[in-house]
Structure 1
Amino acid sequence: MTSSTNAILFINANLVDGNADQPLKNHQLLIRDGRIAAVSADTIDATDAIVIDLAGKTLMPGLIDCHVHVVASSANLGVNALLPDSLVTARASKLMNEMLMRGFTTVRDVGGADYGLKQAQEEGLINGPRLVVCGKALSQTGGHTDYRGRFDRRNVDFYADKLGALGRVCNGVDEVRSAAREEIKGGAQFIKIMANGGVSSPSDPIEFLSFSVSELEAVVEEASNAKTYVSAHLYTDEAIRRAVDAGVLSLEHCNLITPATAAHAAAKGAMACPTLVTYEMLKLEGAQYGLQPDSIAKIDDVRLAGLDSLKIMYEARLPMAYGSDLLGDMHVHQSEEFEIRSRVLPTQEVIRSATSLAAKLLRMEGEIGCLEVGASADLIVIDGCPLSDIRLLSGQGKHIPLIIRQGEVVKDSGLLSH
């Protein structure tokens, strides 16, 4: 259930946005007409506003997850690709609502969700986060998102238009350019490519390099022509370096990156989006949710290197946005990425990954992920301070009594009635 009000004034709020290691204490923040209208340590004059006293609580920007697949209701992505579009849509609506109730007011879907789902959310037909989409991810034959298996000789086009398919297959510079243009025409806000082998697909070992350099460069050029960027699925150091050199901006996963390549990527202006929670959950729960044995066997190759990759990228000053990349029923673990990262990174940095750094990756700085005048009123209230206990951001939003998306109250556990 959602509700809206013209103006809300928060008083006695401790503000946390990830840009400082201590909260700004006892501040006031006014939202009006869906925007942050004022932020001050002094009294804000707003006699028409509903006043909410946040003494002992923290006010934060709405969280941002930069790596989700809202259409992936099954961990067996080959099966998922064959589900009826109507069922995929219904399940995606449920997954998106659950993401919103965990405090994620914006998510970037990196393969599968189309512009129709984005429009449905904007029209209020789906009560979920703001959705940033790329349409179908691009894969070569036998690459990540080609789920036919070694003995399946069907033409891959048999699931190309299915909403439950995370990607589409294209080969050669001309096909790659055409596919990128089709996705952009269809409303893609960036382009996703599968530039390395993957875990969930059956015929591409992790170390496989996908697409030729000329194909990668062609996709980057098409995205650049459309004034956007390319995101790439990557694990190995070799694959990451060639993608960076081809002009890829958003580096997904990056579990096997070396210090030299991390420094090179940072110098080139790239950003990373690690997704460690997915490997933890695939290892523990993948089989029971339908992940195939050959996929499960590949998980530890990247899982065990995950925490080291965080330290490597942090020391190289390669910015890291928040990502989860969960499938099926494992989506309930979306917020646990906070706890995993906090094992090796400063808490402030972990929070920043889901606020200002994520907004930068999405090219939405100043609009989301911040507590600045003029920004969208995407806000969450936390019982306690996540800088002191990052676990307050985990779970199913039980420590988040109030969630506001674009000025609309989408969850209220009694704060508005006090």
Structure 2
Amino acid sequence: MTSYLFKNVRVADGSAAEPSEPIQVFVDGYKIAEVGKNIPASADETIDLTGKFLMPGLIDCHAHTIAAESSFARNAELPDSLVAARASLVLRNMLMRGFTTVRDLGGADYGLKCAIEEGIFASPRLVICGKALSQTGGHGDFRGRFNSKPEVRWGFPLGALGRICDGVPEVRRAAREEIKGGADFIKIMANGGAASPTDPIHYLGFSREEMLAVVEEARNAGTYVAAHLYTDEAIHRAIHAGVHSLEHCNLIRRETADYAAAEGCIAVPTLVAFEALASEGASVGFSPDSLAKVEVIRSKGMESLTIMRDAGLPMA
């Protein structure tokens, strides 16, 4: 493997308020082997980065890499070939912005991971949940109120973020199928959402028994469950059911944040998404109803960070 010596570079690694003074960094293959003032190691290539910064690869902990359309419903109707081609551009652009690992929270499949590992296109490493699990009428159900066509229950298109499952047997089967299909963890829609048409923010997704079942299936496979959550009530019941990764959490309260920290949970705030939707959502086709839901959760975002920080709840 090739080794590199980066000279005269200021390192920004998050450990200090300011970047370092100019130093040297020695990279041996895929490993950062040494950081210091005068590194004696001999490198295959020396690169002078005077006036530039060096930082570790960024990790995006909550993304939907197959969703190039603003409408998740339209995105699910696209041919897999077009979705895959667009996803390759999304992922390449993320890599060029400095992200070397991306955690996909609904949609990306094992085939995309294989394409990345085979070097078919440039991309960050991809960690996936497969299709997110949703109850009928939940955040993963993008049919409108007047669409009574049966939801797809198998043969899911690549452009679909999720799949519908109702009742304990269906939830167990869906979780097992996603894990069999290459999912690294399981995602459930345990609260209402902004982008879906029939579930207000306060809606609670899945019964307690269904959540307990999916958590058990994930644990049986040696992995964990992540949940889409906004309201304090939804977060509390998900923690009680054994959900490990709490996505969004905009409306969390201190008592629940303390509970989450005590149970070893991790919160994944996604505030930038709501800021972008508030400013650009109308121009890309978000409905007034969806934008109103965005504002409910956006307005509490900064407060939620303070609450979780003060509770000692780790955030990704």
Tell me the TM-score normalised to structure 1 length. Answer: 0.73
Contact 2:60 2:101 in 1 (8 A): yes
Inter-CA distance 8–58: structure 2 relative to 1 (3 Å threshold):
same
Say whether residues 1:29 and 2:25 are aligned partners. Answer: yes
Corresponding position of 1:208: 203
Contact 1:82 1:159 in 2 (8 A): no
* 2:161 maps to which of 140, 158, 166: 166
Inter-CA distance 153–59: structure 2 relative to 1 (3 Å threshold):
same
* 1:109 maps to which of 104, 109, 119: 104
Deviation at 1:128, TM superposition (A): 1.4
AA partner of residue 304 (structure 1): S
Aligned counterparts of 1:290 and 1:254: Cα–Cα separation in 2: 25
Contact 1:27 1:39 in 2 (8 A): no
Deviations 1:195-226 (A, max 9, x none): 00000000100000000111111111111111
* 1:95 maps to which of 90, 96, 99: 90
Deviation at 1:175, TM superposition (A): 0.8
Say whether residues 1:7 and 2:7 are aligned partners. Answer: no
Secondary structure of the 1:111 match is coil
Corresponding position of 1:197: 192
Within a 5 Å distance, the mapping from 1:5-404 to structure 2 comes to 6-36=2-32, 38-157=33-152, 161-321=156-316
Deviation at 1:296, TM superposition (A): 1.9
Deviations 1:67-95 (A, max 9, x none): 00011011111111111111101111111
Aligned counterparts of 1:263 and 1:76: Cα–Cα separation in 2: 36
Aligned counterparts of 2:18 and 2:293: Cα–Cα separation in 1: 40
Deviates further, 85-94 or 16-25? 16-25
Aligned counterparts of 1:304 and 1:127: Cα–Cα separation in 2: 37
Deviation at 1:295, TM superposition (A): 1.6
Secondary structure of the 1:150 match is coil
Aligned counterparts of 2:280 and 2:270: Cα–Cα separation in 1: 16
Contact 1:233 1:253 in 2 (8 A): yes
Contact 2:151 2:164 in 1 (8 A): yes
Contact 1:146 1:169 in 2 (8 A): yes
Deviation at 1:234, TM superposition (A): 0.2
Deviation at 1:55, TM superposition (A): 3.5
Inter-CA distance 287–177: structure 2 relative to 1 (3 Å threshold):
same
* Structure 1 vs Structure 2 CA RMSD: 1.6
Aligned counterparts of 2:220 and 2:89: Cα–Cα separation in 1: 35
Contact 1:115 1:135 in 2 (8 A): yes
Contact 1:109 1:132 in 2 (8 A): yes
Inter-CA distance 39–107: structure 2 relative to 1 (3 Å threshold):
same
Secondary structure of the 1:25 match is coil
Aligned counterparts of 2:145 and 2:155: Cα–Cα separation in 1: 18
Aligned counterparts of 1:160 and 1:260: Cα–Cα separation in 2: 42
Deviations 1:129-151 (A, max 9, x none): 11111100000000001011111
Secondary structure of the 2:61 match is strand
Deviations 1:87-133 (A, max 9, x none): 10111111111111111111000000001011111111121111111
Identity percentage over the alignment?
Answer: 60
Deviations 1:34-76 (A, max 9, x none): 222x213243233342112334433211000010001101111
Secondary structure of the 2:199 match is coil
Aligned counterparts of 1:87 and 1:240: Cα–Cα separation in 2: 36
Inter-CA distance 10–93: structure 2 relative to 1 (3 Å threshold):
same
Deviation at 1:22, TM superposition (A): 4.4
Inter-CA distance 238–250: structure 2 relative to 1 (3 Å threshold):
same
AA partner of residue 53 (structure 1): D
Structure of greater relative contact order (alpha carbons < 8 Å, 6+ residues apart)? 1
Contact 1:12 1:54 in 2 (8 A): yes
Secondary structure of the 1:281 match is helix
Aligned counterparts of 1:29 and 1:75: Cα–Cα separation in 2: 41
AA partner of residue 240 (structure 1): I
Contact 2:106 2:132 in 1 (8 A): yes
Contact 2:5 2:43 in 1 (8 A): no
AA partner of residue 150 (structure 2): N
Unaligned 5+ residue runs, structure 2?
none
AA partner of residue 142 (structure 1): G
Deviations 1:252-282 (A, max 9, x none): 1000001111111111111111111111221
AA partner of residue 10 (structure 1): F
Aligned counterparts of 2:220 and 2:77: Cα–Cα separation in 1: 33
Tell me the TM-score normalised to structure 2 length. Answer: 0.95
